[in-house]
């Protein structure tokens, strides 16, 4: 499966780079796609990232999964791009996967997708800005019927990325990556200290 992650300016670096890093560790092909018209993009915390490809150089059927990272400025940039909205609509209508984290479901709202799915987002945005068909407070929500994965924010990016790995490469690969990153150790330590 081919994955593309959309980068404007002002995206949350943790959410973007966790997905790219984890998927590449799992040998999953992921392109960083700039929606700015320039290969150089800038995260919300002034970390520059050079994209692999420009949005205008891709086709709507190039990717099996389209990922949108959060960060309010970046999410608003995604939601305000007609090209991004058309890409997300095409992805949804063709049965491809969309994965959105934090504030980036604002783009799902703008594309008319949010109201059709079960999802989650950064706390509080579900009240006035993003109107899911069904909202859940889970860390990661995988709406298998509609092929959409959503998540809450920077601290959930690890689980968001692992969900994508499980979807694309299977549960064994997801567990292998989680083990290599010491996720089970961290989880058991946190649980033991409760």
Catalytic choice (33, 67, 102, 130): 102
Count of alpha carbons within 13 angstroms of residue 126, beta-carbon side:
20
115: Cβ–Cβ under 8 A, 6 or more apart, which residues?
109, 131, 132, 133
Distance CA 126, CA 145 (A): 21
Question: Any idea of the CA torsion for 150, 153, 158, 163, to the nearest 10 degrees?
Answer: 0
Helix (H, G, I), strand (E, B) or coil at 42: strand
121 counts as catalytic:
no
Using N-to-C axis directions, what is the helix angle for 171-180 and 157-169, rounded to 10°?
A: 140
C-alpha distance across the termini of the chain, in Å: 39
Query: Active-site positions?
Result: 102
């Amino acid at each position: 499966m081919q994955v593309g992650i959309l980068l404007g300016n002002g995206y949350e670096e943790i959410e973007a780079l966790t997905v790219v890093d984890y998927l590449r560790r799992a040998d999953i092909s992921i392109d960083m796609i700039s929606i700015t018209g320039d290969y150089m993009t800038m995260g919300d915390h002034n970390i520059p990232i050079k994209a692999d490809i420009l949005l205008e150089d891709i086709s709507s059927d190039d990717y099996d999964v389209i990922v949108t990272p959060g960060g309010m400025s970046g999410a608003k940039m995604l939601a305000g791009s007609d090209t991004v909205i058309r890409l997300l609509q095409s992805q949804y209508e063709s049965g491809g996967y969309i994965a959105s984290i934090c504030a980036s479901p604002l783009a799902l709202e703008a594309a008319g997708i949010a109201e059709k799915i079960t999802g989650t987002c950064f706390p509080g945005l579900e009240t006035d800005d993003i109107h899911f068909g069904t909202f859940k407070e889970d860390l990661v929500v995988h709406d298998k019927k509609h092929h959409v994965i959503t998540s809450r924010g920077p601290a959930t990016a690890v689980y968001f990325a692992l969900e994508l790995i499980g979807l694309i490469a299977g549960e064994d690969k997801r567990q292998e990556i989680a083990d290599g990153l010491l996720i089970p150790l961290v989880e058991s330590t946190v649980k033991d200290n409760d």
